[in-house]
Amino acid sequence: MSESKSHNLFEVFRNRFPADEKVPFLKVDDGRTFTYDDLNCISAKYANVLTSLGLKPGDRVLAQIKKSPESVFLYLACLRTGAVFLPLNTAYQANELDYFLGDSEPTVVVGDPHENILIDLCTSHKIPNFLTLSADGSGTLNKKSQIAEAKFVSVARTDSDIAAILYSSGTTGQPKGVMLSHANLAANAEALHKIWRFGPDDVLLHTLPIFHTHGLFVA
């Protein structure tokens, strides 16, 4: 059976954007509001930052960062570049992080600027690209994005291309990376839209961590 071409998952989302992209996409408890146009432009800037580091489709971006609008934009930027997004629990410590870095072999790592453990481990694993992103959106990723272009053409993906990897809890052994494809996540989004009957006037209160499958792919 031949593999069919499909839109990049980001483009699946983008095709559902409202006609007026100046309407709010996200409201944050600190008072900030982001529009669909902001989502498009910021994720494009982040995508350009990632590719400027030599990131290629299929490369992995490991992120241990706190929940923020910018962390969502980073995920979308990875989709746009064709990279694989790999979020990690913010509670993981040195021995766990050492395992994940060795197992996943990321090209880029994004971490909290106030946590030195991940920075030191990236050095020992000889990972060349380390960016920082804090809960308030500050860090080297955001700083580099200020001079990046706000346009990016999403990389074409096939149905089986991997969009994200989430690690299992490792209850009976070492955690295993669960690979989620663009088609898998697109079908998931379509099913949720149908079952929950989302409409343009609905509001979703998001209280979950985005390193968890429910927080990132369901809510």
pLDDT tens by residue, 11-36:
999 998 999 999 999 999 999 999 99
DSSP 8-state symbol, 203? -
Q: How are beta strands 24-27 and 5-6 bridged, if at all? A: unpaired
What is the average per-residue pLDDT within 180-187?
Answer: 93
Q: Let me know: does 71 contact 65? Beta carbons within 8 Å.
A: yes
What is the average per-residue pLDDT within 208-213?
Answer: 89
pLDDT in the model for residue 219: 67
Q: Mean pLDDT, the chain, as a whole number?
A: 92
Domain range for 214: 5-218
Q: What is the CATH number of the domain that holds 109?
A: 3.40.50.12780
Cα distances (angstroms) measured from residue 97 to each of 9, 17, 100, 135, 156? 28, 36, 5, 20, 31
Position 1 pLDDT exceeds 50: no
Give dist(CA 52, CA 199) in Å, integer: 37
Entry pTM: 0.92
Domain count, the chain: 1
Position 49 pLDDT exceeds 50: yes
